[in-house]
Amino acid sequence: MRAMEVKVAEGRLSLSRPEEDTVVVHVSGDWRSGRHLPHADEAYKELESGPRVRIVSFDTSGLTGWDSNLLIFLLKIKEWCVAKKVEYRGDDLPEGARRLLQLASAVPERQGARKESRREPFLSGVGDKALQSMASLSEALAFLGGACAACMRLLGGRASFRRSDLLLFLQESGVQALAIVSLISMLVGLILAFVGAIQLQAFGAQIYVADLVGIAMVRVMGAVMTGIIMAGRTGASYAAQLGTMQVNEEIDALQTLGVSPMEFLVLPRMLALIVMMPLLCIYADLMGILGGLIVGVTMLDLNPTVYLNETRASLHLTNVWIGLFYSLVFGVIIALAGCLRGIQCGRSASAVGSATTSAVVTGIISIVVATALITVLCNVLHI
């Protein structure tokens, strides 16, 4: 029989070979924090020296005290046994240690759970981003197709969703948004009028501030500012709601019950924004014109009646319809972006925050791109 012993402070470790292929690990002394304890590397050297080990057992008869330090040591020995395909016998360990080891080994560590900090090659990173983009685009197209199918079922009178949910979403995206839309739209009108007044005063053409503010707000700015506000307010709310439902597995439950999440969750939200966005756009136009009126009356000494008459003369129904078309498109974009990111949400609390942020970013970028495309289209059609 051959033995190796390492004596360190109170905790002691020794290994013996009662048989050629069997090693007994003798753990004795006090194995608690604050003491210099033996390391598992000392045991590895003995286990890997000499004849091949097939069985590892323990002797803890001399153990006087222990805490998590002993558990860490035992886990490392067990990991070595698993890696070397050696039989691990822990029957002689203290009962408490055996139970804790069973709990620690009950759920194996998920592969890839530990993120190692290493520099990824540039080309590999580019490839991963390209694959992720393609997968995201595929999911977005599938979601868009599902939304179109849900709209077709709605037109056929076969869509299944609660009318009370639609009324609730109409209230949330309409009446409850009036305050923030009023504030931002009036400030935008004030800014446009103030900037225009500085330039037009040099030519004695202050009255054309009414034309500038009226056309800008009604044709583009009212719809764009309302869209950005609703993307940050309602689109983020949709993403957070659906993301939380995804975390709580409520969407999976709906699918198990045979209820389409696209019809039950997405469709009423999209309908609410499609209905309310044009109305909010008209309201934002009026608030913007009011802001311009305030600057015209207080800064330029214009008569309110003259200002309003000039605004009415400069506006045409074409400008109004273009602004309403902008708002309609923005309503669809905001609803789809918010619901898509919510459905794509992961299964953790942090994923809900990421989905909400992604919904706002996606919505605003889509609004800017759609604005550019519609503006170019109107220019080509000479509208």
On whether both 364 and 281 belong to a single domain, the answer is yes
On whether both 218 and 313 belong to a single domain, the answer is yes
On whether both 65 and 178 belong to a single domain, the answer is no
pLDDT digits (tens, 9 = 90+) for 102-146: 776 665 555 555 555 567 788 888 888 888 888 888 888 999 999
pTM above 0.75, yes or no: no
Residue where one domain finishes, among candidates 87, 106, 125? 106
70-84, 193-207, 280-294, range with greatest mean pLDDT: 280-294
On whether both 273 and 147 belong to a single domain, the answer is yes
On whether both 205 and 158 belong to a single domain, the answer is yes
Is position 119 within any domain? Answer: no
On whether both 166 and 295 belong to a single domain, the answer is yes
Contact 6, 13 (CB under 8 A): yes
On whether both 86 and 162 belong to a single domain, the answer is no
On whether both 188 and 283 belong to a single domain, the answer is yes
On whether both 90 and 160 belong to a single domain, the answer is no
Is position 120 within any domain? Answer: no
pLDDT digits (tens, 9 = 90+) for 271-306: 999 999 999 999 999 999 999 999 999 988 889 999
Instruction: Quote the pLDDT of residue 111.
Output: 56
Q: How confident is the model at residue 95 (pLDDT cuts 50, 70, 90)?
A: confident
On whether both 90 and 147 belong to a single domain, the answer is no
Is position 272 within any domain? Answer: yes
Is position 9 within any domain? Answer: yes
On whether both 85 and 164 belong to a single domain, the answer is no
Please compute the mean of the pLDDT values over residues 175-182 and round it to a whole number: 93
Instruction: Quote the pLDDT of residue 5.
Output: 47
On whether both 231 and 91 belong to a single domain, the answer is no
Structure tokens at 264: 């039950």
Residue 40 domain boundaries: 3-106
Which residue type does 78 have?
K
Is position 233 within any domain? Answer: yes
Residue where one domain finishes, among candidates 106, 128, 148? 106
Domain count of the fold of the chain:
2
CA–CA separation, 12 and 31 (whole Å): 8
Is position 124 within any domain? Answer: no
Residue where one domain finishes, among candidates 90, 106, 122? 106
Residue 228 vs residue 347, higher pLDDT: 228
Residues 6+ apart with CB under 8 A from 205: none
CATH number of the CATH domain containing 25: 3.30.750.24
Is position 188 within any domain? Answer: yes
Q: What is the three-state SS of the chain?
A: CCEEEEECCCCEEEEEEEECCEEEEEEEEEECCCCCCCCHHHHHHHHHCCCCCCEEEEECCCEEEECHHHHHHHHHHHHHHHHHCCEECCCCCCHHHHHHHHHHHHCCCCCCCCCCCCCCCHHHHHHHHHHHHHHHHHHHHHHHHHHHHHHHHHHCCCCCCCHHHHHHHHHHHCHHHHHHHHHHHHHHHHHHHHHHHHHHHHHCCHHHHHHHHHHHHHHHHHHHHHHHHHHHHHHHHHHHHHHHHHHCCHHHHHHHCCCCHHHHHHHHHHHHHHHHHHHHHHHHHHHHHHHHHHHHHHCCCCCHHHHHHHHHHHCCHHHHHHHHHHHHHHHHHHHHHHHHHHHCCCCCHHHHHHHHHHHHHHHHHHHHHHHHHHHHHHHHCCC
Q: What is the mean pLDDT of the chain?
A: 86
Is position 20 within any domain? Answer: yes
